[in-house]
Every structure is written in structure tokens, then in C-alpha cells.
Amino acid sequence: MGLTPDAKATWIEFVNTHCEVTASASEDEAAAESKLEGYAARFALVIHVSRHACGEDVDPSNVDVDSLRAGITLAKWFGREAKRVYSMLRESPEERERRELLDWIERHGGRTTVRELQRNGLRRYRGRAEDSRLALDDLAEAEHGGWHNELTESGKYVATFVLYHGPEDDCDTSPEDGPEAPILDDPSPSPVVVGEYCRGEEDEEREVFEL
């Protein structure tokens, strides 16, 4: 089976770019990268014949550019996964703890509070407010995320750590109703302020909740 002209041009571009990636990779990663070109071609072939079998109007004798791009996308995904696994094998205990915390936060919507982490988070943070806060501060310093004040349904502003690339990364720090949420320049003063309760527009009193 051959390639359509567009698919051939895309394949040449992919091979040339991938050769540069493989040349600059570590020994272990280069071994995995060297197999991806073959995987991309096989994936593209499977996708193309599947499209034909499902009744799509494709040339059964030539893989088109859409099938090829899909195959390349799959191959690149497996390449990224291989790099992720190799990085896990090389990481230090501190790096492993950071990765596990990042994974936990992402599984829980890409955001968390100190209180939530110490109550429902990884075992090493259970009942440890200070350790939880320091761990989240460490992620913020490493630019994995940042602190935001979020307005809850009960009317409280709660200091929340949000991953920069996590799901639903859209903190509402200036709600339409009530006063503007104060942004915490330093989320870790003593005592740790985790939010404010808004009594209403006519009552300017604020109640500060501490850990």
C-alpha cells in the first residue's frame, strides 16, 4: 500500500523531524524513539483500512494524510509515555513525592486547598496542615501552579492551589456579587489564612478562618 502525495510529504517531514529528536535523546529514550517511525506507519495503516471497512470514501490502495497524521499522533503519544516512564525511573525521592502530589491534584480536578489535602489527600499529608501547605508552596515555587482565592457556594473565599495546566483552570477571583476577592500575595503567613466569609454587601464585617 502506498501514500497519497499529501501523506508522503507529511511522512518525509515527520521522519526528518523525528531523526533530530532521536539524535538529541538520551540512550534509553533514543532506543524507544527509534521504533516510533515504524509504529506510526503501522498505526496509519490500521486506521486507514479501518476507515475503509467502515464505509468511508478513502482510496484502499493509498494511505491518505488524515490516516497518516492519526498514526503519527498515536506514535508521538507512546513516545511521550516512554519518556515519562524513564523519568520516573530516574527521579529522586523528592521528585517522586512531587510527582505523586501533582498526579493527586490533577485527579481531583486540578485544584486543592490545604484543608482538603490534609484531610483527604495522600497519606503522608493526613492531619499535617503545615506539611500540606509547604508541599503546595513548593509546587507554586516550581511554577506547577499558583494560589488563588475562590468563592464557594457558602460565600467563603478559600485560598486554593490551582495547577496551571490542570482541568478547569479558571479561578473566579472577582465575582459579580459581593466585594472583590482579596488575592493572597503570600499564601503562607502565620497564621495561615484560608478564606474569608462575606456577610453581605451591607455588612462590611469579615470573619477570617484559620487552619
Q: What is the pLDDT of residue 202?
A: 34
Residue 8 CA to its chain's centroid (Å): 33
Residue type at position 78: F
Looking up cell 497519497, which residue turns up?
A: 4
Q: What is the pLDDT of residue 1?
A: 85
Give the whole-angstrom CA distance, residue 168 versus residue 160: 13
**pLDDT tens-digit series, residues 82-113:** 888 887 787 788 888 888 999 999 998 999 99
Q: What is the pLDDT of residue 205?
A: 35
User: Are the C-beta atoms of residues 68 and 10 closer than 8 Å to each other?
Assistant: yes
**pLDDT tens-digit series, residues 61-70:** 999 999 999 9
Cell of 72: 503519527
Neighbours of 19 (CB within 10 A): 13
Phi first, then psi, for residue 112 (nearest 5°) are: -160, 165
Q: What is the pLDDT of residue 180?
A: 40
Give the whole-angstrom CA distance, residue 167 versus residue 109: 6
Low-confidence ranges of the chain (pLDDT < 50): 166-211
* Three-state DSSP class for residue 92: coil
Q: What is the pLDDT of residue 177?
A: 38
Q: What is the pLDDT of residue 157?
A: 87
Closest CA to 159 of 100, 111, 102, 113: 113
Q: What is the pLDDT of residue 154?
A: 83
Q: What is the pLDDT of residue 25?
A: 76
Beta strand spans in the chain (E): 2-3, 62-63, 111-112, 145-151, 156-163, 193-198, 206-210
Closest CA to 198 of 159, 161, 152, 148: 152
Give the whole-angstrom CA distance, residue 211 versus residue 195: 10
User: Are the C-beta atoms of residues 161 and 136 closer than 8 Å to each other?
Assistant: yes
